[in-house]
Amino acid sequence: MPNKKEYARPVPLSSKLVQNSHLFSQLPEKLVNDMTSHFRAERWHKKIYIDKQQLLQRFYLLLEGRIELIRTNPETGRSITLDLLYPGDGFDIISLLDGRYHEVTYSPLEEIKVISVPIEKMREWIWTYPELNRQFMPYLAQKMREQEDKTTDFALYDTVTRLSRIILKNVNKIKSYTGLKDNEHEQHLINGLSDEVLARMVGSVRQVVNQHLQHWKKEGVIDKQRNKIMIKDLQAIMDDANYISSEF
């Protein structure tokens, strides 16, 4: 097991840093200032081992980078991605709510920045401050809805449809683009998600996902270089996802 001290380094903490998390972004300034003394901030390397026991003691909020939440079958070694956490997301929400050990693995996809607070303090704040509760409950509902959508996709749709929806969900789309129409696709990118990660996200295997990606590349739907996917025909991806433009 890697030594956490070798993979993490402290970051100067301020109330502005705490407010970077949307769970705290709308709280009164005085309240955030009072809360800040309970937080600590760190940068973690990509290959850090996140001790799940530590997640029973502290509640973490992601400020920079992405984390893959993985569940693995110990007998077969098969893994599935339960969620991909982005800046603003908290982990582990389930342990925060029930105080129980959560059998999952957190795998940073790049160097990340986090802030954390003792988990009992976070629970206390949720019960004590209506302002925080009003932000926490919609966020919790959003994560539950995402899991409901994922379950529905696994039960009702084929691999191509699931892959299309995963790509659309994680696309880096710059809506303010004003350049040439021929270059518009350059503003729709998937970065840092390997075929293996995409396979875990859709509940398939790398070879099948790669086959679909190569088909799209041959048809001119995407351009792919290593872990970077450039979408050249967004409508084709939406068609395969059974989406209409207004849904994306």
Q: Give the architecture-level CATH label for domain 157-247.
A: Orthogonal Bundle (1.10)
What integer pLDDT is reported at residue 124 of this predicted model? 96
Return the domain boundaries, the chain. 4-153, 157-247
As to burial, measured by CB atoms within 10 angstroms (0-12 exposed, 13-18 middle, 19+ buried), residue 246 is exposed
**C-beta separation of 63 from 85 below 8 A:** no
For the chain, the 3-state helix, strand and coil shares in percent, each to the nearest 5, are 45, 25, 30
**Topology (CATH) of 4-153:** Jelly Rolls (2.60.120)
Q: 51: alpha, beta or left, given left = phi > 0 and alpha = psi -120 to 50?
A: beta
Q: pLDDT (tens digit, 0 to 9) for every residue of the chain, 248 residues total?
A: 344 445 677 888 999 999 888 899 889 999 999 999 999 999 998 878 788 788 999 999 999 999 999 999 989 889 999 999 999 899 889 899 999 888 888 999 999 999 999 999 999 999 999 999 999 999 999 999 999 998 999 999 999 999 999 998 888 754 444 455 555 545 577 888 899 999 999 999 999 999 999 999 999 999 888 888 888 888 899 999 987 655 55
State whether the Cα torsion 183-184-187-193 is positive or negative: negative
Q: Which two tokens stand for residue 112?
A: 């990340």
Q: Would you say the pTM of this structure is higher than 0.85?
A: no
